[in-house]
Structure 1
């Protein structure tokens, strides 16, 4: 079992409130990712769950039991940090089994659990090496293996891939996803990288200044963001947000043209993702602009369009598109893919 519940959890550092009354339920076996910009409180919230930070107000429950005031050793959780924190003088085998050894576990039990973890993480060839003889990705797998042997209720990951280069981050992201499938354990993962969040999570918790902005599956957050913050944080390149006015079932772009408005309420901004914009001839679509930059990425090209009063608009196009800076274009926004937000940044539901 590995269900975790937060009830009105708060964290204060003196007069500064960092976590502002968080309510969250994490199911047994679920992979939940905390994501948000630096300073939003995601690592603090993770450390509160792990018992490394005191919970100022509210409750933390694990499998229904209140652990708010219990030390980390009593919670049955394990943490994997950004720093590998491996003992340099010990072999991989000894590093992975060290916590069991200090707990007084029999040698046969330690060997069995270390071998099982090594098989899961494909570390068998490296068990007798020391950390200095391993790559960054291998060291991170050893750190994860050290957690696996403890057979925890849940795994807590605090930006574990931050020290790796781009290629290793992709490789380890795959390894962690496969690990979750094999172990079927509860995992809570902190990152500022929304690509990691989108690819790993069963559900994403988006944090903004110590409060939950939205919780949902990656698809829910991408297709139905609750507010402007989530809309622009989830997705790469980020959503284009443009000023508009609405009346009589129509929206009017500042310096652009009008279109159908099918929402309840009054919108002050329209959001459209780069892949939901068509490049058209000037005078067609919802607005005109001039191509500023074309970023060729192989399969895709990102076309940055200067749309005058609307600012810069990013369009995701096919990689082999033939466009040049300075070329005039029209931009058409896909119907059914437009997002509207009110003056407070809240997404408007369909009317």
Structure 2
């Protein structure tokens, strides 16, 4: 069992409210990731679930039992932090089994659980080494192994990969995904890196100033953002956002061209891969190539759209366009998003 439910959870520091009434149900075995900009409350919310921060108002239930006032040791959760926090004088095996040893577990149980965790994390060859003899990725695996041996109800990860370089981050994303598959345990993961969120999560919780902006699968958030904040936060490069007006079932961009759109729209959103290049006068807008960023498999063109601002276009492979070339931009109507004056998504006609 590993279900977690937050009901009207709030966090106050004096007169300042940082978590503003969160309602969230996490199913057993689910991998849920909290994302959002710095200061949105994602780490605070994770620490409240773990018992490291007091819940000011509301309640928290684990497996149907109210644990709002229970200390961390009574919640059956295990937390992996950004810092490895390994004992430098202990071997890998001793680090992983330390919590069991302090709990008075017999040595046979400690050895069996450490061996199993080492097998899952591919650390069998490193059990006699000290932390100083390991790479950053191996140290993080040891920190995760220390959590596994406790056999927790759920794992809580607080930006565990932020101290690693780019190559190790990719490797550890794979390791954590495989770990979730093999253990089948509930995992809650905090990150500011949307690539981690999109590749690892069953569901993503997007937080904005202590509230939930949207909850959904990575695909739901990418293809159907509920509001302007989620539309601009999810996706790399970010969704292009342009001002428009709409009436009579038609929208008009600044510059005079447009197409079919819902009444009340004041912003149009279109992702870089959903724009087709053509000759000037084609499609919804014209622009001038400002910068071409070649990424190997893709090229990202930064287009100067005059009053529409900068528009990013994704082209598969290379392109013969050069800086200063003028192009027409056609927006795929089935992938065009519209938002009202409050920033809420409007249904496409």
Query: What band does the TM-score fall into relative to the shorter chain?
Result: over 0.9
Whole-Å separation in 2 of the counterparts to 1:63 and 1:226: 30
- SS state of the match for residue 231, structure 1? helix
Distance 1:222 1:11, change over 3 A: same
Deviations 1:269-295 (A, max 9, x none): 000000000011011110101000000
TM-aligned CA deviation for residue 125 of structure 1:
0.3
Residue of structure 2 in register with 1:236 after alignment: 236
User: Helix, strand or coil: the match of 1:259?
Assistant: strand
Partner secondary structure for residue 346 of structure 2: coil
How many Å apart are 1:248 and its aligned residue? 1.4
Q: Which residue of 2 aligns with 1:17?
A: 17
Q: Separation in 1 of the partners of 2:90 and 2:187? A: 28
Determine if contact 2:51/2:71 at 8 Å carries over to the other structure: yes
Q: Partners of 1:328 and 1:256 in 2: how far apart? A: 17
Residue 298 of structure 1 corresponds to 296
SS of 2:333's partner is coil
Equivalent in the alignment of 1:188: 188
1:317 to 315, 318, 325: 315
Gaps of 5+ in 2: none
Secondary structure (helix, strand or coil) at the match of 2:34 reads: strand
Q: TM-score, normalised by structure 1?
A: 0.99
| SS of the residue 1:236 aligns to | coil
The 1-side partners of 2:246 and 2:312 are apart by 23
Structure 1 residue 350: Cα displacement:
3.4
Indicate the residue corresponding to 2:306 in structure 1.
308
* Structure 1, 102-111 or 313-322: larger mean CA deviation: 313-322
1:312-334 superposed Cα distances (whole Å, 9 cap, x missing partner)? 00000022211100000000000
2 CA distance for matches of 1:256 and 1:94? 69
Give, in whole Å, the separation in 2 of the partners of 1:305 and 1:26: 42
Please report how far the alpha carbon of residue 250 of structure 1 lies from its aligned counterpart in structure 2 after TM superposition. 0.9
Query: SS where residue 151 of structure 2 aligns?
Result: coil
Corresponding residue number in structure 1 for 2:218:
218
Report if aligned partners of 1:203, 1:217 keep a CA contact under 8 Å in 2: yes
Residues of 2 paired with 1:248 and 1:107: CA distance?
76
Aligned to 2:129: 129
Query: Does the Cα contact within 8 Å between 2:6 and 2:24 map onto a contact in 1?
Result: yes
Structure 2: how far apart are the matches of 1:89 and 1:153?
29
2:345 paired residue number: 347
Equivalent residue for 1:258?
258
For 1:42, the equivalent position in structure 2 comes to 42
SS at match of 1:235: coil
Which residue in the other structure is 1:285 paired with? 283
Deviations 1:107-145 (A, max 9, x none): 000000000000000000000000000000000000000
Secondary structure in 2 matching 1:336: helix
Aligned length, in residue pairs: 349
Identify the residue that residue 207 of structure 1 maps to in structure 2: 207
CA RMSD of aligned residues (A): 0.6
CA shift digits 1:177-211 (9 cap, x unpaired): 00000000000000001110000000000000000
SS at match of 2:144: helix
